[in-house]
Amino acid sequence: MKNGKLEEALSVLSMAALVVITLLNVVTRYLTDQSFAWTEEISVFLMVVMALSGASAIALRDKHIRIEFFLNRKAADGAEVPRRSLKLLGSLATSGVFMLLAALFVRWVWDQYRFSETSMGLGVPLWWYGAVLPVLCAAISVRAFMAFLRTLRGQTDHVRNQE
For residue 160, name the pLDDT band (cuts at 50, 70, 90): very low
Q: Specify the number of domains making up the chain.
A: 1
The structure's pTM equals: 0.82
- Name the residue range of residue 111's domain: 5-162
> Any idea what the Cα angle at residue 120 is, between residues 122 and 19, rounded to 5°?
60
For the stretch 48-104, pLDDT in tens is: 999 999 999 888 887 777 766 676 776 666 666 678 888 889 899 999 999 999 999
For the stretch 119-148, pLDDT in tens is: 988 889 999 999 999 999 999 999 999 999
Its sign, for the CA torsion 67, 96, 47, 58, is positive
Helix %, strand %, coil % of the chain (to 5): 70, 0, 25
For residue 2, name the pLDDT band (cuts at 50, 70, 90): low
